[in-house]
Amino acid sequence: MPLYQYEEVLPNDEGGAQFEIFQKMADPPLTEHPETGIKIRRVYTAPAVGGKWSEEAMGRAAHDDKKLERLGFTKYVKSDDGKYEKVVGKGPDLIDKNAPP
């Protein structure tokens, strides 16, 4: 079941305290707080994406040099102020801001 975020609706129609509730996707949005009866509304937020596209997984993939090279990427690592050395992939071995290509 998805986790939905709600907020209290203040008298001036601004958002108040926020909280989260697990609901079925088929359930209609709540209009009253289930415990206090205060008027609420659903807050739309970016979905949490997990699996191979999560930040943690993408971070691991970016550190796997063999995988990056196999997929056709080139990886450079900063070695000095304005200098980057190639770790894997095609392209120049060094990129230097003081020595244009």
Closest CA to 5 of 16, 19, 26, 22: 19
**pLDDT of 97 strictly over 90:** no
What's the whole-model pTM score?
Answer: 0.48
Least confidently predicted of 39-43, 54-58, 81-85: 54-58
Question: CA–CA separation, 19 vs 6, rounded Å?
Answer: 5
Residue spans of the domains in the chain: they are 3-43, 64-101
Closest CA to 19 of 40, 37, 1: 40
Please answer whether residues 61 and 51 qualify as being in contact, where contact means their C-beta atoms are separated by less than 8 angstroms: no
